[in-house]
Amino acid sequence: MIDTHTHLHYTGRIPGERIGVSAEQLVDKMNENGIAKSVVLPIESPEVGTCICMTETVIEAALKYPERLIPFIHVDPRMPRSEQVIEHFCNTCDLIKGFGETVDGLPIDDPLHKKIYAKCSDLGLPLVFYGSSYSNFDEVGLPRLESCLQEFPDLIFIGHGPRWWNAISADDDASCGYPDTPVVAGGAADRLLQEYDNMHADISAGSGYNAMSRDPEFTQGFLKRNWRKILFATDYLSAGQEQPQIQWLRETPMAEEHREAIAEGNARRILRLDSA
């Protein structure tokens, strides 16, 4: 399996404060769960809280475990010369495979985001975005996201977070909770996955797992429609954290071809691991 969404230690504002897991702890957890590789995502935007994880931290961990950890990079879009910073990282580390996750207080179609999208598209970097009440804002039906999918057809967007996953249901009201009601067919997320080659999604965190488990009957059809677009992921970021996606992937009835694709085949394809 390839876990496409994990994190490392976050450095806090209090001197010496550390939150999360070390690279060694992450690899130990991977060994425990039979996970071959993990994508590690930095976050450098203040909206996530008082703690950040720098791209340099992620690259350092990946250089220590190059066969196990896959580094993504992140630059806050409000940072001056953000595009040049992205290019710098890619020119200095050939292990980098993507960008994200984007967690910032901007609409998903903000012009500053679009500069990032253009650069990632040019460099062939898939991008993970976190849709929530404070990040990557969008309305019912995800029209802002759809406009970006159209404007940047060569950029692979990977949806994550409650704003994205709540849109799996047609009764989505643009809230960011964890609904337990049956899914109503015709949701924007389901439609975008089917209509746009560059739209993908990971099943990480409570939002992703909730979307896959809240209505098992709907999930069966959803997976048949979108199995080439779904990525196994946990959002593992703290010791002792539950990872229900592992059991879900292993036990949910589905074609073995679909299970293999979700477990690692789709990740290998979009991250170009087999050609590395």
Neighbours of 118 (CB within 10 A): 14
Q: Which residues, including other chains, have CB under 8 Å from residue 98's CB and lie 6 or more apart? A: 39, 70, 72, 73, 120, 125, 126, 127, 128, 158, 271
Q: Which of 225, 234, 214 is nearest to 254 (CA)?
A: 225
Element (H, E) at 21: none
Query: According to the model, what pLDDT value does residue 35 have?
Result: 98
Is residue 231 situated within a structural domain?
Answer: yes
Is residue 123 situated within a structural domain?
Answer: yes
Q: How far is 145 from 151, CA to CA, in rounded Å? A: 10
What is the number of structural domains in the chain?
Answer: 1
Structure tokens given for 135: 């990040």
CA dihedral sign, ordered 271, 113, 209, 182: negative
Is residue 101 situated within a structural domain?
Answer: yes
Query: According to the model, what pLDDT value does residue 207 have?
Result: 96
Is residue 257 situated within a structural domain?
Answer: yes
Whether pLDDT at 126 is above 60:
yes
- The pLDDT of 123-147, averaged and rounded, is 96
| Predicted confidence (pLDDT) per residue in 44-98, tens digit | 998 876 668 899 999 999 999 999 999 999 999 999 999 999 999 999 999 999 9
CA distances from 234 to 91, 149, 196, 270 (A): 29, 25, 24, 18
Distance linking the first and last C-alpha atoms of the chain: 18
Is residue 275 situated within a structural domain?
Answer: no
Which domain covers residue 74, as residue numbers? 2-270
Is residue 186 situated within a structural domain?
Answer: yes
Q: How far is 74 from 78, CA to CA, in rounded Å? A: 12
Whether pLDDT at 276 is above 60:
no
Buried b or exposed e, range 107-116, using 16+ CB within 10 angstroms: bbbbeebbeb
Confidence of residue 18 (pLDDT cuts 50, 70, 90): low
Query: According to the model, what pLDDT value does residue 14 have?
Result: 67
Angle value at C-alpha 221, between 216 and 223, nearest 5 degrees: 85
CATH of the domain at 202: 3.20.20.140
Is residue 276 situated within a structural domain?
Answer: no
Peptide bond into 101 cis (omega under 30): yes
Is residue 188 situated within a structural domain?
Answer: yes
